[in-house]
Amino acid sequence: MIVKEGRFGQFLACSGYPECKNTINATQNDKGEIVPLEVQATDAICELCGKPMILKRGRYGEFLGCSGYPDCKNIKKIHKGKDGEMIPQDAEVTDATCEKCGKPMAVKRGRFGKFLGCTGYPECKNIQKCPKLHPEHENISVIIIGGGLAGCEAAWQLLRRGHAVNLYEMKPQRFSPAHKMENLAELVCSNSLKSNSLDNAPGLLKEENAPSQFINTNDGGQHAVAAGSALAVESYSILPER
């Protein structure tokens, strides 16, 4: 075996390559010598061939691979428990069915992202594109830190689309020197909403979003005061009723 360099560091490879493509993970000992990395056996058992699974490392981190490789190529994702123990992670099986063998498809990850792979692998190597759900069709819960203009706008848009939102704001328990009121989305600067003029980016953005339900610009417009071409409002929360 000879020492070679790969994207994940040094490893041992057979000098008979390409006729022999055997490789061994390697590490440095206390003397700085490159030595084979000891195989870390686990209690997990391969459900395909019954042999023990061993800890391996790939481009996406650590995983479990069958000790019967290359005869058995079964692998499993893992995650670390509270005490650092390696816990096998079962594949995310979907309702999609393999059109070649009839077995269910599972979500897998490759170099180009997620895809669907047949659970009958390696006998069946069929793959499919992973369907992307529109955000409006997903039931998600979002945590937002900060109840300023951006935080309130983000919360409002998510709620309009049917998502659950937890909005965390330090007021009224704690105030910054600029804040005076307990409400959310308190304006502390007359320049916060910027210009209404159509010859600059802030003005064009407001004009393009006029038909949409953006609370900061729509509510701000309802409470506007004279300020030339700028959108200025009184220095109080523009969202008291929300």
Give tens-digit pLDDT for 71-95: 888 888 787 666 766 666 667 788 8
For residue range 108-137, what is the model confidence (pLDDT) as tens digits?
877 777 889 898 877 899 999 887 655 555
> Is the backbone of residue 113 left (phi > 0), alpha (psi -120 to 50) or beta?
left
Residue 188, pLDDT score: 67
CA 219, CA 223: separation in Å to the nearest integer?
Answer: 7
Helix (H, G, I), strand (E, B) or coil at 221: helix
Low-confidence winner among 26-40, 43-57, 128-142, 156-170 (lowest mean pLDDT) = 128-142
164-168/141-145 β-pairing: parallel
Q: Provide the residue type at 34 as one letter.
A: I
Q: Is the pLDDT of residue 222 over 80?
A: no
If one compares 59 and 160, the residue with the highest pLDDT of the two is 160
- Specify the pTM: 0.36
CA 87, CA 108: separation in Å to the nearest integer?
Answer: 18
DSSP 103-141: PEEEEEEETTEEEEEETTTTT---EEEPPPPPGGGS--E
Helix (H, G, I), strand (E, B) or coil at 234: coil
Residue 240, pLDDT score: 46
Contacts 24+ apart (CB under 8 A), 165-171: 165/141, 166/141, 166/142, 168/143, 168/144, 171/147
Q: Is the pLDDT of residue 100 over 80?
A: yes
Q: What is the mean pLDDT of residues 16-33?
A: 83
